[in-house]
Amino acid sequence: MITTVEDLPPELAASASPEEKNYIAEIQRRGLLPFAVTPHFASLAGPEQDDPIRRQFFPDPCEAAPDPCALDDPLGEYRFRAAPRLVHQYRDRALLLASGACAGYCRHCFRRVWIATASPIDGEDLQPALAYLAAHPEIREVLVSGGDPLTLDNAGLSDVLRRLRNARPGILLRVCTRVPITEPLRVDGETVALFAAFRPLRLAVQINHPRELSAPGCAALAACVSAGIPVHIQTVLLRGINDNPALLAQLFRDCLDLGLSPYYLFQMDLAPGTAHFRVPLKQGLAIYRELGGLISGLGLPAYALDLPGGGGKIRLHENVIAGEKTAAAGNMYVLKDSTGSEWYYPTTNT
Ligand code: SF4
């Protein structure tokens, strides 16, 4: 991984402003979400400060701006911790935080506060999660996430998947990763065979921009599809990066051509330091409406939001907004979930 400006490709290194360099030093000093990018992902970036790949990994001093809406745990995952590394929020599925590391860090990451301090999973952490899964047959699916589980080597990943499978034979495993995009050569033949060996298994891969689909990334994803591994795409709606219906339509068409299934388009969570990436909700709804006219249903992901503070995932549409109110953190939309409970999401990102 590249962790200093000096180690970036020369054009990118030269593009770093004094403010960006100072902010990277501040990140290190304060132990915030690290600056780290793979040489592969850095090679996809242009030197312009608004380049859509550069912005996803290059720390922006805007991250330090006060955001009264920010939540350290935006999805409320701590409320649903059933074991130190297991989150059980939805009846039929659970989330295993299998690694605290990623192959490079996305500046829009919603788990950024946890990731900055997390350690790799070990047997001691895994055991209570396995015991919980064995005692809860209503759980039919485990999302293996983190961080990124593909930062484990194949032996480590195989060990985690095998222990999950032994605890609950037949359970569906969903491996959530960005590695096929950020470090595609990590997904070698052995990794693909490993996925195939642990079926039923699906991959959920975050892809935010058509330029992320490099030749090696496409090859890695195509190898998974050829091996019979369903691959679902999750995209984060990011201001100035992909907040454009035509660009999103291109991304999802490219994904369909590779045999990948667009699954979710996420409205940004309220993680600290990410307000500058947030597309205002009404604009997001307008983008999604237009996107629906540009692409067939096969390529149209669900537009969704994890309700801030632990309300769970909802599909976004105009009728979800029940009104507006002024709160201490600013103007908020009032969102209603399927039970009629009210949740709040900022009307703007400032
Ligand atoms: S790969 Fe996922 S978990 Fe890791 S920094 Fe990016 S968004 Fe966060």
The tally of CA atoms less than 13 A away on the side-chain side of residue 183 is 21
Nearest CA to ligand 1 atom 8: 109
Mutate to test the pocket of ligand 1, among 77, 111, 175, 177 (most ligand atoms within 8 A of CB): 111
User: Where does a domain end: 44, 64, 84?
Assistant: 64
Could you tell me the end-to-end alpha-carbon distance of the chain, in angstroms, rounded to an integer? 33
Cα(112) to centroid(ligand 1), Å: 8
Based on the fold, state whether residues 93 and 187 are members of the same structural domain.
Answer: yes
Does 80 map to a domain? yes
Nearest CA to ligand 1 atom 7: 109
Name the pairing type of β-strands 321-327 and 330-336.
Answer: antiparallel
**At 135, which CATH number?**
3.20.20.70
Alpha carbon distances (Å) from 171 to 135, 136, 142, 176: 13, 12, 7, 16
Q: Which is the closest atom of ligand 1 to the Cα of 236?
A: 7
**Where do the H-state alpha helices sit in 9-68?**
10-15, 18-30, 39-43, 54-57
Based on the fold, state whether residues 31 and 107 are members of the same structural domain.
Answer: no
Binding pocket residue ranges, ligand 1, CB within 6 Å: 102, 105-106, 109, 111, 146-148, 178, 206
Cβ atoms 232, 260 nearer than 8 A:
yes
What's this model's pTM, rounded to 2 decimal places?
Answer: 0.96
Based on the fold, state whether residues 124 and 220 are members of the same structural domain.
Answer: yes
pLDDT at residue 100, rounded to an integer: 86
Cα(79) to centroid(ligand 1), Å: 21
Based on the fold, state whether residues 81 and 31 are members of the same structural domain.
Answer: no
Does 344 map to a domain? no
Nearest CA to ligand 1 atom 6: 106
Nearest CA to ligand 1 atom 1: 178
DSSP secondary structure of 76-137? -GGGGEEETTEEEEETTEEEEE--S--SS--TT-TTHHHHTT-----HHHHHHHHHHHHH-T
Based on the fold, state whether residues 51 and 187 are members of the same structural domain.
Answer: no
Cα(58) to centroid(ligand 1), Å: 14
Residue 242 and residue 296: Cα distance in Å, rounded?
19
Based on the fold, state whether residues 138 and 23 are members of the same structural domain.
Answer: no
Mutate to test the pocket of ligand 1, among 33, 143, 148 (most ligand atoms within 8 A of CB): 148
Based on the fold, state whether residues 116 and 259 are members of the same structural domain.
Answer: yes
- CB-count burial class (<10 Å; 0-12, 13-18, 19+) for 241: buried
**What are 306-309's contacts with CB under 8 Å, separation 24+?**
306/74, 306/75, 306/110, 306/266, 306/269, 307/335, 307/337, 307/343, 307/345, 308/69, 308/71, 308/74, 308/75, 308/76, 308/269, 308/270, 308/343, 308/344, 308/345, 309/71, 309/74, 309/76, 309/343
Cα(153) to centroid(ligand 1), Å: 17
Based on the fold, state whether residues 145 and 196 are members of the same structural domain.
Answer: yes
Does 109 map to a domain? yes
Mutate to test the pocket of ligand 1, among 178, 241, 269 (most ligand atoms within 8 A of CB): 178
Total domains present in the chain:
2
Based on the fold, state whether residues 158 and 297 are members of the same structural domain.
Answer: yes
Q: Which is the closest atom of ligand 1 to the Cα of 111?
A: 8
Based on the fold, state whether residues 243 and 295 are members of the same structural domain.
Answer: yes
Beta bridge partners of 346: 332
User: Where does a domain end: 16, 40, 64?
Assistant: 64
* Segment (H or E) for 142: strand 141-145
Per-residue pLDDT of the chain (350 residues; tens, 9 = 90+): 999 999 999 999 999 999 999 999 999 999 999 999 999 999 999 999 999 999 999 999 999 999 999 999 999 999 999 999 999 999 999 999 998 899 999 999 999 988 867 777 777 889 999 999 999 999 999 999 988 999 999 999 999 999 999 999 999 999 999 999 999 999 999 999 999 999 999 999 999 999 999 999 999 999 999 999 999 999 999 999 999 999 999 999 999 999 999 999 999 999 999 999 999 999 999 999 999 999 999 999 999 999 998 999 999 998 899 999 998 888 999 999 989 899 999 998 66
Q: Which range of residues forms the domain containing residue 90?
A: 67-320
Residue 8 and residue 65: Cα distance in Å, rounded?
26
Based on the fold, state whether residues 153 and 276 are members of the same structural domain.
Answer: yes
Cβ atoms 183, 38 nearer than 8 A:
yes
Q: Which residue is listed with tokens 């299934």?
A: 261
Does 339 map to a domain? no
Does 78 map to a domain? yes
Closest CA to 207 of 185, 236, 231, 240: 236
Does 30 map to a domain? yes
Please state whether the peptide bond connecting residue 147 to the residue before it is cis, i.e. omega within 30 degrees of 0.
yes
**Buried/exposed code over 186-225 (b: 16+ C-beta within 10 A; e: otherwise):** bbeeebbebbeebeebbbbbbbbbbebbbeebbebbbbbb
Residue 19 and residue 328: Cα distance in Å, rounded?
31
Alpha carbon distances (Å) from 57 to 3, 4, 183, 238, 278: 11, 12, 14, 13, 16
User: Where does a domain end: 14, 34, 64?
Assistant: 64
Beta bridge partners of 94: 142
Cα(109) to centroid(ligand 1), Å: 5
Cα(111) to centroid(ligand 1), Å: 7
Does 330 map to a domain? no
Mutate to test the pocket of ligand 1, among 109, 114, 145, 203 (most ligand atoms within 8 A of CB): 109
Does 137 map to a domain? yes
Based on the fold, state whether residues 200 and 82 are members of the same structural domain.
Answer: yes
